[in-house]
Chain A
């Protein structure tokens, strides 16, 4: 397979770029932020996205999806990263759809995939229990009770957790906190009385929630995937998430860099364009190179998810690491090369800087993934 987009994927890219720059540019993200919109995104926009088939981008046609696969999801995420578009796309259409489509029963697929595709049901994934991503560390308890379980525990930083209709919760059905076996995924209604959701505004002006569950009764029907074998499913869902976050960060890197190179060509100091100073040129050229490396890493991971999902974990992990580092560098340099206006709220580069920071933290930063690579390679 070639490491380039197919014609169909390129058309999707053009369409997404056109639509988002027109309907969801950085200015509308600002508006959402400044108006303290409690959802953190525009419901009208999400409806339009769903109508274009984006909400069901990875969902098979038989369930109402547009079956564009993960490369398609990445193509969209990259454009969203460029425009800082806030939407439920990531939590619902990538994490939720992956969870249900790959690990759900026929009944669960029939029940949920349609409403993911039409945008009517929002999902959120509840994994972490502390400020750093530690997916193997799960204490959230699922205690056997009658034919089902009782869920109790806390989850942090559940992206879109404040608006979700459904929560996918990683809970412990057996074993100790750091065992990978003994984890089970539950798919539950987010507005159950036993669930308390505390909205946490984040530095990137997206929203998340801390969640406390106190004695929620669930049945076997609420289990997603295998009892005690949920870690594998979680790993699959996280892999998809990592690759798509990589695509989003790649888009943000590219756009922050584009804004910066435009500025280098326009701003004058010492009687010349600042882009003519070699001290800035070489850093820009280095960054441009890293951005190219990142594009390849991200595309490879997305292609592998489509091609051989089960084997994609290591690759998605590396793509997340590479894209995170590049995005960090790109947004840091964007601020620095703008001088004083780079640190103003009015100027967009700071928004990219903040979003990228949160996306880095989400599902593991570069150090986390370097550690995983080393572990997996036996060193």
Chain B
């Protein structure tokens, strides 16, 4: 047996033994995933057991180096782990912004000491991170951000406001973009900094979404003092001062990668496949066809698009592993995934008809189709809007001229 075959066999056996049955529904949503953090309470005994088993193997962050809490898997091994996990439909044991966004950026730009503290904290599920990028005046044009960060010798002093900060109210730390030079060209005065949300002067105010729920906040900074370093070599700033845009962009690529590899038509509420769900809800005509020809055609079309998209994620991963980096093509996946995600929940709402539009006495239930449908409108906005992805594809992949 080759090393990889051996690894597959071991992984399969390990999963069989350690992944609880309840964690094999493959259905990770913002509501049921394991986020971790100081305020985290496991939603079930199974979720806790699965997390702990994974932690022991370094499988909360399988590809990170062992010294930072990972399992140090190679790309080939990681692919096998994913395949084996998907084979039994296992959820990820831990998922959050630390794993998918900050971690990869720290691996690329962090010092050893920064990695030891922060990657370790993420891997062990101890610290939950939020993302302080957007501001009221800086959305798509992120580099125009104005949150002010002044050098006060032994510390930084921060004043300003972030907005749309997902889960700021329940996060422990924030990775933040601040302006350290107001005179330099806009991309040249930005710094990437790590801040404890418990710092004095930080306050958050939840924003209510169209669903009535509130997964994000306004985040205010009033004379917030941030130490220059949290320990020897463990600076609060990642990368160089005024060069935070490089780190920010690196992180955005990972964020897009994460958003671009969701499984759009699945994952959302309801039975596995749209067609099966529709057959159950709507019924079939005498010829065995869904008793709604126009919906039937749309569903089949969406399933074909979803299938081709899923294969494209696979192919682009394989290409990346073979050494042809994905680069700006990650914007294609982000674009396709967001649009398909919206399409999937729109079709589910159409299939559900007035049932799906009926809500509880206290509003839209967290666990409902309607909530997912409403939240999913955000997928083509967050992490760079659909239009911004199309701009990136035009300029960076197709190299079309600028105006």
Contact = CB atoms under 8 A, between A and B. Distances in A.
B22 interface: no
A288 B397 contact: yes
B284 interface: yes
B300 A370 contact: yes
A375 interface: yes
Nearest to B307: A318
Given A297-B308, A318-B304, A318-B308, A379 B393 contact: no
B311 A321 contact: no
Interface string B90-126: 0000000000000000000000000000000000000
Given A2-B318, A370-B301, A281 B391 contact: yes
A275 B394 CA distance: 9
A4 B288 CA distance: 38
Contacts of A299: 311, 315
Contacts of B394: 278, 281-282, 284-285
Nearest to A272: B403
A358 interface: no
Given A371-B300, A378-B279, A379-B276, A293 B290 contact: no
Contacts of B299: 374, 379
Interface string B390-402: 1101100111111
B308 A276 contact: no
B296 interface: yes
A265 B288 contact: no
Nearest to B277: A379
B392 to A, nearest CB: 8
B335 interface: yes
Given A3-B318, A281-B391, A379 B398 contact: no
A294 B400 contact: no
Contact of B300 (A288, A292, A300, A373): A373
Contact of B273 (A272, A366, A377): A377
A276 B400 contact: yes
Given A273-B401, A377-B275, A296 B311 contact: yes
Q: Which of A275, A289, A370 has the most CB of B within 10 A?
A: A289
Interface string A279-305: 001101110110011111101100000
Nearest to B403: A276
A379 B311 contact: no
Q: Which of B315, B318, B319, B397 has the most CB of A within 10 A?
A: B315
A285 B333 CA distance: 12
Contacts of A370: 297, 300-301, 304
Contacts of A277: 403
Chain A facing B: main interface SS: helix
A297 B401 contact: no
B96 to A, nearest CB: 28
Interface in B304-339: 304-305, 307-309, 311-312, 314-316, 318-319, 321-322, 329, 332, 335-336
B10 interface: no
A371 B300 CA distance: 7
Contacts of A369: 304
B304 A292 contact: no
A76 to B, nearest CB: 20
Q: Which of B279, B300, B332, B387 has the most CB of A within 10 A?
A: B300
Contacts of B275: 374, 377-379
B289 interface: yes
Nearest to A277: B403
Nearest to A301: B311
B397 A379 contact: no
A375 B304 contact: no
B276 A377 contact: yes
A289 B400 contact: no
Contacts of B304: 318, 321-322, 366, 369-370, 373
Given A272-B403, A370-B297, A374-B290, A3 B387 contact: no
Contacts of A2: 318, 321-322
19 contacts: A2-B318, A4-B315, A4-B318, A4-B319, A265-B401, A273-B400, A281-B394, A288-B393, A289-B336, A293-B305, A294-B308, A296-B311, A296-B312, A370-B297, A374-B275, A374-B296, A377-B303, A378-B288, A379-B276
Closest 3 CB pairs of A and B: A285-B393, A370-B300, A296-B311
Given A4-B322, A272-B401, A370-B297, 19 more contacts: A277-B403, A285-B393, A286-B390, A288-B398, A292-B332, A293-B311, A294-B308, A295-B315, A296-B311, A296-B312, A318-B308, A321-B304, A371-B297, A373-B303, A374-B275, A374-B300, A378-B276, A379-B284, A379-B296
